[in-house]
Chain A
Amino acid sequence: MVRLRQRVSLQIRNLKRKSGQASTELAASLMFIIPLMLVAVYVVTQCVQAYTIYCTLKQASAQAARRFAVAYIHNPDLVRKNYGQVCYSVEYPGVVNSYKQFELVEFSPDAIPPTVTMRVHFAPEIFGCRRFPEPDILGISKHFKMSAQTTEKLD
């Protein structure tokens, strides 16, 4: 009877020890998995954001180039002198906020076909653009620059 009792208590002790071991293993494995997952989520999120910003810039540059082409047909002199006017209303909050972000890369009215190329720049926290990356863990925000350009037929 005493032997049996001793054996049972030994088994219970063993089980308790094994259960604690499993919890420790779980905690240890989560310590590796969770940071990895967090890093993966952060990287993917930032990449997706960068891609979205690029798509938005591309759209903005296409819109600006088209507006330039339309305005050029009606008043070539004015557009040539002040192309910024056509970019005033091209706005994508957080990404394209100011006409100063646009650059007239190429304007060839005498080429065949006549074309105009507009470029739009994005730099975090300049001209009211949003911060990117957010949160900026590695401090690359100040070095981050992105641009997109589109060429449109002038006539």
Chain B
Amino acid sequence: MKRKKARNKKGAFSAVLLLLTTLGLLMIGGVAIDLSHAFYVRSQLQAAADSCALTGAYYLSNLHPSTYDHRRSEEMARQIARRNFIDGYLMDDAGDRTELVYSCQTGFKGPQFCQITLTHKVCTSFGRLVGVNYLPVTVVSKAGAFVGTKSVAPNWLQNLAISHRVLRSREIITDPQNKEFNSYFVSEWKSDNNPDIKVGATIVTAGKGDLNSLQARKVYNVAIVRGGDPKESMPRTSEIIGTVSIMLDVRSSADRSTFRIVEGGVIKGQPGTPRYSGFLTSDDMDFAIRNGHWRVALVQ
């Protein structure tokens, strides 16, 4: 009888020891699994926050964003957020576990900023055994919409340069003999194979070209060059002071065409206000800023 009791005691002790060890190992392993899962979700959240912030900033790419722009920016940022998968579920389906805080910071002439803070409660697998059901993960992403670009990446500009003078005649006139000469084909590169361009420093010269080689109603990104003093003829050599998107309408000849400036164009390059090597007239500056491309980029 006593022997049986002693054996029982031995068995119980071993079982308790085994149980405690297993529990300890499970907890240690659980911490690592939950932690790595949280890191994984964090990287997904960061990607989602980045795309939301970039989208929000894109809809703020306006010199004076209105209340409507702000509302649209937030709406679109939230819409993009809902397209992201977080922890295996579309963000919308995660219910109250995910929180998106939108904030924007806008000013006259930009840059306009959009900040997204995403918080997600990551469900724990093992933490819940000790009462920790969620691990909160927060990421922040901030994107800016910059008016103007400091540089333009290769292959983004057509070899056409226009100046503020086009606003006067409402036509692109590339004939240098014409008194209203206001644009020219750039001789430095062919078609849209532009090299790396430093806005404010890269100098281009007038070359020959035919406006008929460009398609009607197609959006072209072109360079903005100095128009110079309106009383004098337009300089045939100038630095690029900006970029703009245009669409050609009716062509009356190979060197004359009506056109429209297309708003909302985004170009690839380094965002920010360019440094100009010389003095710009107010007409040049105004034309470049009001019609220039916007650049959307992450800042944080």
Give chain A's interface residues, CB within 8 Å of chain B: 15, 18-19, 21-23, 25-26, 29-30, 33-34, 37, 40-41, 44-45, 48-49, 51-52, 55-56, 58-59, 62, 66, 69-70, 73-76, 155
Q: Which residue of B lies closest to A20 (CB)?
A: B6
Residues of A within 8 A of B28 (CB): 44-45, 48
Asked whether A70 lies within 8 Å of B6 as measured between CB atoms, the reply is no
**What is the size category of the interface that chain B forms with chain A?**
20 to 34
Asked whether B46 lies within 8 Å of A66 as measured between CB atoms, the reply is yes
Known: A33-B17, A51-B32, A73-B297. A41 touches B24 (CB 8 A): yes
Give chain B's interface residues, CB within 8 Å of chain A: 2-3, 6-7, 9-10, 13-14, 17-18, 21, 24-25, 28-29, 31-32, 35-36, 39, 42-43, 46, 268, 270-272, 297-300
Q: A26-B13, A34-B17 provided; 6 other pairs, C-beta below 8 A?
A: A15-B3, A37-B18, A52-B31, A52-B32, A58-B39, A69-B298
Asked whether B297 lies within 8 Å of A62 as measured between CB atoms, the reply is no
For B6, give its contact among A19, A56, A59 (CB under 8 Å): A19
Known: A22-B6, A23-B6, A37-B17. A55 touches B25 (CB 8 A): no
Known: A48-B31, A73-B297. A19 touches B3 (CB 8 A): yes
Q: Which residue of B lies closest to A63 (CB)?
A: B46
Residues of A within 8 A of B43 (CB): 59, 62
Q: In the bound complex, how far is the Cα of B28 from the Cα of A66, in angstroms?
A: 31
Residues of B within 8 A of A62 (CB): 43, 46
For A155, give its contact among B13, B18, B268, B272 (CB under 8 Å): B268
Residues of B within 8 A of A52 (CB): 31-32, 35-36
Known: A18-B3, A48-B31. A74 touches B270 (CB 8 A): yes
Q: Which residue of B lies closest to A72 (CB)?
A: B270
Asked whether A26 lies within 8 Å of B10 as measured between CB atoms, the reply is yes
Q: In the bound complex, how far is the Cα of B272 from the Cα of A75, in angstroms?
A: 10
Q: In the bound complex, how far is the Cα of B141 from the Cα of A69, in angstroms?
A: 13
* Of listed B14, B24, B25, residue having the most chain A CB within 10 A: B25
For A18, give its contact among B2, B14, B299 (CB under 8 Å): B2
Closest CB in chain A relative to B21 CB, distance in Å: 5
